């Protein structure tokens, strides 16, 4: 079973995304900030990170960049899921090292296809 770290501070959105992923067999661990995500990564290495951009404290863009800079986490694929829909936001997210950028409201099928492609175990 593939493990996903979901970094989303809005409870309804987190529940929806987690439900989509769990319904397809992913094990989802939820945190609400980049700081909590960093603590999680210090203990466990997920197969995939699903990341919001607008978070309390450090932004998802900053967190993504830091994850990709660290040798022990650089190979974890990151999917950014954000309400920021501008081309510059998508460009910036990919430039930070994200493997995919999905806009909210996230399409369930697109999320599952993207997660499966990145994890490569389904």
pLDDT digits (tens, 9 = 90+) for 29-69: 999 999 999 999 999 999 999 999 999 999 999 999 999 99
**Average model confidence (pLDDT) across the chain:** 95
- In this prediction, residues 98-121 reach a mean pLDDT of 95
pLDDT of 19 > 80? The answer is: yes
Instruction: Please give the share of the chain, as a percent, with pLDDT higher than 70.
Output: 98
pLDDT of 102 > 70? The answer is: yes
What residue spans define the domains of the chain? 3-107
CATH architecture type of domain 3-107:
3-Layer(aba) Sandwich (3.40)
- 41 closest CA partner among 71, 73, 2: 73
Contact call for residues 59 and 30 (beta carbons, < 8 A): no
Contact call for residues 8 and 30 (beta carbons, < 8 A): yes
């Amino acid at each position: 079973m593939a493990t996903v770290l979901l970094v989303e501070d809005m409870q309804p959105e987190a529940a929806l995304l987690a439900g989509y992923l769990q319904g397809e067999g992913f094990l989802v661990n939820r945190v609400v900030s980049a700081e909590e995500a960093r603590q999680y990564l210090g203990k466990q290495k997920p197969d995939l990170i699903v990341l919001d951009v607008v978070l309390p404290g450090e932004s998802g863009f900053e967190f993504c960049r830091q994850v990709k800079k660290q040798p022990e986490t650089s190979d974890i694929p990151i999917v950014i899921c954000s309400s920021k829909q501008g081309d510059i936001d998508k460009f910036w997210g990919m430039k930070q090292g994200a493997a995919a950028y999905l806009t909210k409201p996230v399409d369930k099928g697109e999320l599952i296809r993207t997660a499966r492609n990145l994890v490569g175990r389904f």
